[in-house]
Structure 1
Amino acid sequence: MRKFAVILLVALVTLIFAQQKLVIWCSEKQVDILQALGQEFKARYGVEVEVQYVPFGDIKPKFLTAAPQGQGADIIVGAHDWVSELVANGLLEPISSFAEINQFFETGLEAFSYGGKLYGLPYALEAIALIYNKDYVPQPPKTIDELIAIAKQIDKEFGGEVRGFIIPATTFYFVVPFIFGYGGYVFKSTPAGLDVKDIGLANEGAIKGLELLKRFVDEGIITPGDNYEIMDSMFREGRAAMIINGPWAIKAYADAGIDYGVALIPDLAPGLVARPFVGVQGFMVNTKSPNLALAKEFLINYIAKKDTMYRIYLADPRLPARKDVLELVKDNPDVVAFTHSAANGIPMPNVPQMGFVWGAMDDALNLVVNGRATPAEAAKTAVERIKAQTQ
């Protein structure tokens, strides 16, 4: 009798699912693989999956308009920093813990968490790392002191024709690994989420990070005018030995014939790792979807699986969010290095107040590298400005 009841339940669930259709909105790179996965899901469960291409920049605003009316996509694919706005508008469904959640990098899960709940299934990470030219640096430095020593030697040997080390000196995103590595933070992380009233960009660790930036300038390794365009073009031209950049830049370096390597940003001190910002892409469920249970089932018991995530990686080769998928691609040293850098990192805050941080901190970096304020003074001014705009 019990066996018959189970069979009846499975048949009933199959019948209900067969009457439903899942709609997914995604950007161009995910369309083909999600269509293929959707066809397989339909063949297995009898549920139609309709994948609709929406330009990446249009997904969130279109969803904000359609979802409150019970329309639009059941699932969207997008960035983790959409979460706060979508949750505030009551449009995202929390995802409960599932069997293989521990296979996902904590950084990815943290990125899609808000108010202590998980609101997205991560599939791809993004972070910066050290990129080095093997013609000048056969083995990457393990510590910042080693990096400085190597950079100085190259500067001296080539008389400025080749730069030992370059970063965009006044761009917060590229200086963050030093600030966070020493213990600075943007907004305090708590079990209930980010505390936007607790800003850690002028604490002792943040000031140490800015002091390191000033050391680079004072010792002639970088200049106040160093920006992304200078860094990127000099590395492509073989005139920079070490830079910090992201996976988006690798193809251009390979096409330019640079014999490059990717490594972790060197430790700030023994056991004190650099911690870059991390961006995360993932799947989010429309809480107003008429197919809510099915949408969650599709993500947790189909998309979240190792084999499926590996196929998504092959179709859209970004840094994998699952640890065991990284094991499958460990023969790609670039992916391994960038992913380990991301695993060390901190997700970009997924709260709207983050919008006020970028300009304030870029201005603070300008003050520091041009000698117009001490690191402590510049950090204090930046935090006061952020607080005035956010609180």
Structure 2
Amino acid sequence: MKKLSSFLLVVLFLFLAISLTGAQANKITIWCSEKQVDILQRLGEEFKAKYGVSVDVQYVEFGSIKPNFLTAAPQGKGADIIVGAHDWVGELVVNGLLEPIPQFKDQNQFYKTALNAFSYGGKLYGLPYAMEAIALIYNKDYVKLPPSTFEALISTAKRINTAYKGKVRGFITSAAEFYYVSPVIFGYGGYVFKETPKGLDVTDIGLANPGAIKGAKLWKKLVDEGILTPGDNYQIMDSMFKEGKAAMIINGPWAVKAYKDAGVNYGVTVIPALEKGIVAKPFVGVQGFMINAKSPNKILARDFLINYVATKDTMYKIYLADPRLPARKDVLSLVKDNPDIVGFTKSAANGIPMPNVPEMASVWSAMNDALNLIINNKATPEEALENAVKAIKAQIKK
């Protein structure tokens, strides 16, 4: 009798396990931040009506998504899909927590920059939906036709400085912040970590190569020519543009609402070419969907992404709910009436994805220090950048 009771308990346990597994097989759980909740819930309802698979969209504060996922995913728990930043990819892949996304229909409709951002070791680990990058923002009351080259930017800025006798700055941006200087560093061939078929080589740092040095010299020229001052920073740039005291700046899409609210007659376009035929290449941040490699539902999650979310119609719906720079080229064609989005997206398309490896954390302070030394004439570009690379390598080894 005792053996029979034990047998029945085992059978009951197996029945419950099979039932639970079956229930999970018809459900996908997504973790996302606040801005994506409503649209993903609506898309989930459409997906369930069409395919019979439920989509449970759960709000998680953006800064908690990755750490929560790192804790839950190794145990096969947590979300089947997370929505987050491309620079999470390196850490998550190294920990074996992301499932590669196979080649899919219309993949060539996505900007290469966006796909590269979610690639690691030659494989794609995320479906991008939005990008972010800086661009040239100009006040149309002072600049009718934005400059197409840095040479034209310098001459335009000088003309405005002279005409308004210093009361209006022709051009201003954050002078010693690597994020804002990076377009000239990368445009001439500098790089943070070398791209290889197996991923980024963090031992090969190109921030003191001939291209990086040439870019730093061009940036220093802006100071030497009196266009920028060593003390120019983000706060000064932002407030001057809002007050109509700056004609041209380099800033990102997060800033334009305040400029619009301030009544500035502004336009957005790509950062001027460094020389004719040599485009500026800003850092690009990308948001996208990533699949839990430990999830029992990863096949369903993959199908949901590549056969439903990745489509033009769905990506457009996501854009309408959260208007960021679209990762699909053909979605941009649907929003041509928004010149801000068009200008920033074209700038992002020229750009370089922010390295998606943890070692990137070692770069910022070293490069900011180097730029400060350069624009304050305390070190040559060669010396400052070489020392920055040494500092980065030493930090990575710790």
Task: Judge same fold: TM > 0.5, yes or no.
Answer: yes
Q: Which residue of 2 is the match for residue 194 of structure 1?
A: 200
Secondary structure of the residue aligned to 1:93 is coil
In the alignment, residue 308 of structure 1 is paired with which amino acid?
T
Q: Decide whether the 8 Å contact of 1:18 with 1:46 is kept in 2.
A: no
Matches within 5 A, 1:341-360: 341-360=347-366
Number of aligned residue pairs: 377
Q: CA deviation at 1:223?
A: 0.4
Secondary structure of the residue aligned to 1:170 is coil
Q: Which residue of 2 is the match for residue 170 of structure 1?
A: 176
In the alignment, residue 77 of structure 2 is paired with which amino acid?
Q
Match of 1:120 among 126, 131, 134: 126
Residue 214 of structure 2 corresponds to residue 208 of structure 1: yes
Q: CA deviation at 1:333?
A: 1.1
Q: Which residue of 2 is the match for residue 297 of structure 1?
A: 303
Q: Bigger radius of gyration, 1 or 2?
A: 2
In the alignment, residue 381 of structure 2 is paired with which amino acid?
P
Q: Which residue of 1 is the match for residue 32 of structure 2?
A: 26
In the alignment, residue 232 of structure 1 is paired with which amino acid?
D
Q: Which residue of 1 is the match for residue 368 of structure 2?
A: 362
Match of 2:80 among 69, 74, 80: 74
The alpha-carbon distance between structure 1 residues 165 and 38, as it changes in their structure 2 partners (threshold 3 A), is: same
Equivalent-residue separation in structure 1 for 2:220 and 2:72 (angstroms)? 49
Matches within 5 A, 1:184-263: 184-263=190-269
Q: CA deviation at 1:389?
A: 1.4
TM-score between both structures, scaled by the size of structure 1: 0.95
Q: Deviations over 1:291-329 (max 9, x none)?
A: 011000000000001000000000000000000101111
Equivalent-residue separation in structure 1 for 2:247 and 2:343 (angstroms)? 18
Residue 135 of structure 2 corresponds to residue 134 of structure 1: no
Q: Deviations over 1:35-87 (max 9, x none)?
A: 00001111111111100000000000000011111110000000000001111
In the alignment, residue 139 of structure 2 is paired with which amino acid?
N
Residue 52 of structure 2 corresponds to residue 46 of structure 1: yes
Secondary structure of the residue aligned to 1:163 is coil
Q: Decide whether the 8 Å contact of 2:25 with 2:297 is kept in 1.
A: no
Q: CA deviation at 1:116?
A: 0.7
Segments ≥4 residues shifted beyond 6 Å: none
Q: Deviations over 1:329-378 (max 9, x none)?
A: 11211111110100000000001110000000000000001110011110
Structure 1: tracts of 5 or more residues without a match: 1-15
Q: Deviations over 1:147-187 (max 9, x none)?
A: 00010111111111100000101100000000001110101
TM-score between both structures, scaled by the size of structure 2: 0.93
Secondary structure of the residue aligned to 2:79 is coil
Q: Deviations over 1:104-144 (max 9, x none)?
A: 00000000000111000000000000000000001100010
The alpha-carbon distance between structure 1 residues 159 and 274, as it changes in their structure 2 partners (threshold 3 A), is: same
Q: CA deviation at 1:18?
A: 8.7
Q: Decide whether the 8 Å contact of 1:17 with 1:46 is kept in 2.
A: no
> % of aligned pairs identical?
72
Q: Which residue of 2 is the match for residue 10 of structure 1?
A: none
Match of 1:317 among 323, 335, 341: 323
Q: CA deviation at 1:17?
A: 8.6
Secondary structure of the residue aligned to 2:29 is strand
Q: Which residue of 1 is the match for residue 167 of structure 2?
A: 161
Q: Decide whether the 8 Å contact of 1:367 with 1:373 is kept in 2.
A: yes
Match of 2:158 among 152, 177, 181: 152
Match of 1:372 among 367, 370, 378: 378
Q: Which residue of 2 is the match for residue 92 of structure 1?
A: 98
Secondary structure of the residue aligned to 1:358 is helix
Structure 2: tracts of 5 or more residues without a match: 1-21
In the alignment, residue 326 of structure 2 is paired with which amino acid?
P
Equivalent-residue separation in structure 2 for 1:292 and 1:248 (angstroms)? 34
Q: Deviations over 1:251-272 (max 9, x none)?
A: 1001100000001100111100
Q: CA RMSD in A?
A: 1.2
Secondary structure of the residue aligned to 1:123 is strand
In the alignment, residue 321 of structure 2 is paired with which amino acid?
A
Equivalent-residue separation in structure 2 for 1:70 and 1:111 (angstroms)? 26
Q: CA deviation at 1:20?
A: 1.9
Q: CA deviation at 1:233?
A: 0.3
Secondary structure of the residue aligned to 2:170 is strand
Q: Decide whether the 8 Å contact of 2:26 with 2:52 is kept in 1.
A: no
Q: Decide whether the 8 Å contact of 1:262 with 1:333 is kept in 2.
A: yes
